Amino acid sequence: MMAHGLGVEVIAEGVETLAQARILAEMECDHAQGFYYSKPVPPKVFEALLQVRFTEVVPPRLLQAETAKAESLFF
């Protein structure tokens, strides 16, 4: 990837499907965000998610379940 040749990390936005995530991984994209990983959440929910999974890669389905669980704590 040209960005890597320049010493720049690559961040993909708007990832919505597993197929997109896999293609980005094959392209050696450094980071990605989008609805595939999580819907937007309020700050307190985000903090709770960080406490639960700060150092782990979370499968999207598990993250959605934990988002719902965390939201129930605050709403």
What CA–CA distance (Å, rounded) separates 36 from 59?
Answer: 10
What CA–CA distance (Å, rounded) separates 42 from 68?
Answer: 12
Q: Which residue has the higher pLDDT, 53 or 32?
A: 32
If we measure between CA atoms, which residue out of 56, 63, 54 comes closest to residue 35?
63
Q: How many domains does the chain have?
A: 2
pTM: 0.57
Same domain, 30 and 51: no
Q: Which domain holds residue 31?
A: 1-37
Convert the pLDDT of each residue in 6-39 to its tens digit: 999 999 999 999 999 999 999 989 999 999 888 8
Write down how long the chain is: 75
The confidence score (pLDDT) of residue 64 equals 62
Question: Mapping DSSP to helix (H, G, I), strand (E, B) and coil, where does residue 36 land?
Answer: coil
Same domain, 21 and 49: no
Contact, 17 vs 36, CB < 8 A? Answer: yes
Same domain, 33 and 50: no
Same domain, 32 and 58: no
Q: Which of 1-10, 12-21, 44-53, 55-64 has the weakest average pLDDT?
A: 55-64
